[in-house]
Structure 1
């Protein structure tokens, strides 16, 4: 084998590897963005910061996770309305949103036994007396 054949063989091998890498990358279908409207949410982030400040100023722990019962306990006053977003960072197809409407002041429970085991972020957004709040907890089921 001479130098010319070795160089051509090396270039062909390199091109084959690069083409197969591109094909593998294009065929992946499990790539998920954190949210579909990422740019819109980034622009509105100051509102989110205000919601977090409001929630941190509360005297009560509005949301807690009970690992024994695999449930979220909500301690919100009557008339509070909001959304509980169960966010799975590794697979957006498992995400769930649950509407919350507190009709009585007793502790409200959201059962999480049906969720796949692993790491979850639980995001609670609610409105109470025309004021918006946001809490986030990281849990392992």
Structure 2
């Protein structure tokens, strides 16, 4: 075998490898964005900062997560309305949003046993007395 054949074989192998890798990358379908409307979320982030400041100024703990029982207890006053977003960073298909309204002392526990074990972010957005709040907590189920 001479140099010419060796170079041609090397180029053919290299091109075949590149075509194979590009084909694999194009067929990949499990790529998930954090949010579909990323740029719109970024523009509205100042409102989010104000909600976080409001939540940090509260003199009580907003939620407790019990890892043994796999449940979340909200400590919000009656009349609070909001959304609990269970965010799975590794797979957006597992995300869940739960709307809630606190009507009394017993209406503030949420069972998380049905969620896939692993790392989750619990994003709590609520309003009480016309003021909006946001609290985020990282949990492992």
TM-score, normalised to structure 1, is 0.96
Match of 1:126 in 2: 126
Answer whether contact 1:75 1:107 (CA < 8 A) is retained.
Answer: no
SS in 2 for 1:18: helix
SS in 1 for 2:33: coil
Number of matched pairs: 141
> 1:28, CA displacement in angstroms?
1.0
Match of 1:11 in 2: 11
SS in 2 for 1:30: coil
In 1, Cα distance between equivalents of 2:107 and 2:134: 18
Match of 2:49 in 1: 49
Match of 1:61 in 2: 61
Which stretches of structure 1, 4 residues or more, deviate above 6 A after TM superposition?
Answer: none
In 1, Cα distance between equivalents of 2:63 and 2:38: 26
Structure 2: gaps spanning 5 or more residues: none
Answer whether contact 1:86 1:122 (CA < 8 A) is retained.
Answer: yes
Structure 1: gaps spanning 5 or more residues: none
> 1:7, CA displacement in angstroms?
1.1
> 1:106, CA displacement in angstroms?
5.0
> 1:133, CA displacement in angstroms?
0.5
Match of 2:37 in 1: 37
TM-score, normalised to structure 2, is 0.96
